[in-house]
Chain A
Amino acid sequence: MSSTDSSNQPFEIQVVNRGEIYLCDQGESLLSGMEQKSADCINVGCRGGGCGMCKIRIIKGRFTNKRMSKAHVSPEEAEKGYALACRTFPSENMVIESDHFQIDEAVELGTS
């Protein structure tokens, strides 16, 4: 346990593309921590790791995470720092970039 974990102080989350900073309580995901502070710098979707609307890129900071949809964050993307904010739990102050959700246009129209 580092000193930040035991101090129970909220973590400072800097969202660089929006030019905003919010305080995320310990034990909260980046997304629920943001919603609790009535901040609006990450898009909110299902809050369950499924829809991808809260996709971010992590620039700096340690975190833990829960399982999230591979359709939105592939293992290769995860290695590059992409994640879903609803499944990412900060362990210290973090720097992130939001607005990485995009709808993939269909390339083919099925069979019939």
Chain B
Amino acid sequence: MKKGVMRPGHIQIRVLDMAEALEHYRDLIGLIETHKDSQGRVYLKGWTEVDKFSVVLREADEPGMDFVGYKVLNNEVLEKLEQELIAFGCNVEAIPAGELDGCGRRVRFDSPTGHMFEIYAEKEQTGKWGVSKVNPEAFPRDLKGMKATRFDHCLLYGPNIAGTIQLFTEVLGFDIAEQVLDGEGTRLAGFLTAGMKAHDVAFIEHPELGKFHHSSFFLETWEDVLRAADLISMTDTSLDIGPTRHGLTHGKTIYFFDPSGNRTEVFCGGDYHYPDHEPVTWTADELGKAIFYHDRVLNERFLSAVT
């Protein structure tokens, strides 16, 4: 958080059918539906998140990610980083307050990998869902499905991850927590954090611009991940792989797809990062183990199926 970026704040995901998407994000993952705006976009959040929303679904004829936004400490930080993004060479667009209901002014910028990002300082705070602010109980009793606690991170695929990682580390103050290096020392994957988590965003080198690999939601325990796997079977949801563990980050995980083909992860556990930590490194010749610690081989789908 050395430059004032606090955390992932929101992600806007394109879906082919809103009703089917809500069965996935609300009823299966267990996010809370908090709002629908005049454009028909639906806003959701994990129950532990204090801001009004973290996931926005937009119906479109091409699935994928519109943008992901990060919350900064205050408006002074927002204005300073806006100038630094322009100086870095990004195309920067100011999105006025209220374009997303309940969200303040956003600064949107592009990146070498072809993804759109945003920073903002203010969003309506409605508090954790279903528990009181004072003397909160352990959890709300009427959660659905996997009972995901929060939107945690996303993994993005694109060319020139070196450029986007430079943007995130030099301008936004993220640290490289974990990485994959090839024999020549070229970084094929970078896992970046603004705080103590093993990743707030991750990038993998890929020839197509602006591709979305997955959005990820946090569960508390391995038992919760196994229960998520049961729910995926009960609902006949498209499974990618899991339950398993990652070598990178050491998180325990399962991957599946929403009804429009956007990949979702739910996971628990994982490494932590302090600013004095060296990046955790995996080598490309152990990529199978780095991604899927138990199988130790990559499935083609994990590399190729992106939206």
On A, residues with C-beta under 8 Å from B are 43-51, 53, 66-71, 101, 103-106, 108-112
User: Is the pair A68, B111 in contact by a Cβ cutoff of 8 Å?
Assistant: no
CB neighbours (8 Å) of A112 from chain B are: 88-90, 110-112, 163, 167
Bound-complex Cα distance A95 to B262 (A)? 29
Over the window 48-71 of chain B, the binary record of Cβ atoms lying under 8 Å from chain A Cβ atoms (1 yes, 0 no) is 000000000000011110000000
CB neighbours (8 Å) of B259 from chain A are: 48
User: Is the pair A109, B159 in contact by a Cβ cutoff of 8 Å?
Assistant: yes
Bound-complex Cα distance A104 to B157 (A)? 13
Q: Which listed residue (B261, B301, B304) contacts A50, Cβ 8 A?
A: B261
User: Is the pair A111, B208 in contact by a Cβ cutoff of 8 Å?
Assistant: no
User: Is the pair B260, A110 in contact by a Cβ cutoff of 8 Å?
Assistant: no
Is residue B95 contacting chain A, with contact meaning CB distance below 8 A? no
On B, residues with C-beta under 8 Å from A are 16-17, 61-64, 88-91, 110-114, 158-160, 163, 167, 207-209, 238, 240, 257-263, 300-301, 304-307
Question: What are 25 A-B pairs at a CB distance below 8 A?
Answer: A45-B304, A45-B305, A46-B240, A46-B263, A46-B305, A47-B257, A48-B257, A48-B260, A50-B16, A50-B261, A50-B262, A51-B307, A53-B301, A53-B305, A69-B63, A69-B260, A71-B307, A101-B304, A106-B158, A110-B113, A110-B158, A110-B209, A111-B89, A111-B91, A111-B110
CB neighbours (8 Å) of B305 from chain A are: 45-46, 50-51, 53
Bound-complex Cα distance A106 to B113 (A)? 10
Secondary structure type dominating chain B contacts: loop
- The answer to whether A47 and B261 touch (CB under 8 A), given A106-B114, A110-B163, is yes
Please give the distance in Å from B110's CB to the nearest CB on chain A: 5
Q: In this complex, what residue of A is CB-closest to B111?
A: A110
User: Is the pair A69, B16 in contact by a Cβ cutoff of 8 Å?
Assistant: yes
CB neighbours (8 Å) of A43 from chain B are: 300
User: Is the pair B64, A67 in contact by a Cβ cutoff of 8 Å?
Assistant: no
CB neighbours (8 Å) of B163 from chain A are: 109-110, 112
- The answer to whether A49 and B89 touch (CB under 8 A), given A69-B307, A106-B208, A106-B209, is no
